[in-house]
Structure 1
Amino acid sequence: MLAILAAVLFGLALLMELAGFGLGPVITTGTLTTAGLLCVALHLAGVATDRSRFTRRRRRR
């Protein structure tokens, strides 16, 4: 989920850079890029992953 969010943030930053506009002094292309890099870092660190999907259940015989 964080990787998808990062891709959206990078896409918005690219569109803003190509169009040459900003959303005020706070939200700039640099801010969106930094937020995207933070999401990628959190994704690679394993934050907000569904670990129950990858665990193996032990079967009793």
Structure 2
Amino acid sequence: MVAVIAAVLFALALLIDLSGISLGSVLTPTNLLTAGLLCVALHLAGIGTNRPAFRRPAWRGRRR
């Protein structure tokens, strides 16, 4: 999910940069790129995924 947000931020940054639109000092392409890179880093760290950070191996904890 965080990777999708990063892709949207990158697309917005590209559109703003190519069109030359001025949206003030807050929404600049550089700020959007930085936010997109932050989302990619969070995605690579495992934040925002459905998997838990720690999984027990399947063979442990099973009763026979």
Partner of 1:23: 23
Matched length: 59
Partner of 2:7: 7
Q: How does 1:41-60 map to 2 (within 5 A)?
A: 41-51=41-51
| Percent of residue pairs identical | 61
* SS of the residue 1:18 aligns to: helix
- Say if 1:22 and 1:29, in contact at 8 Å, map to a contact too: no
Partner of 1:36: 36
* SS of the residue 1:51 aligns to: coil
Q: CA RMSD in A?
A: 1.7
Deviation per residue, 1:15-43 (Å, 9 max, x gap): 00000013111110000000000000000
- Could you list the runs of 4 or more consecutive aligned residues of structure 1 that deviate by over 4 angstroms after TM superposition? 55-61
Alpha-carbon distance, 1:50 to partner: 0.6
Larger radius of gyration: 2
Structure 1, unaligned stretches of length 5 or more?
none
Structure 2, unaligned stretches of length 5 or more?
none
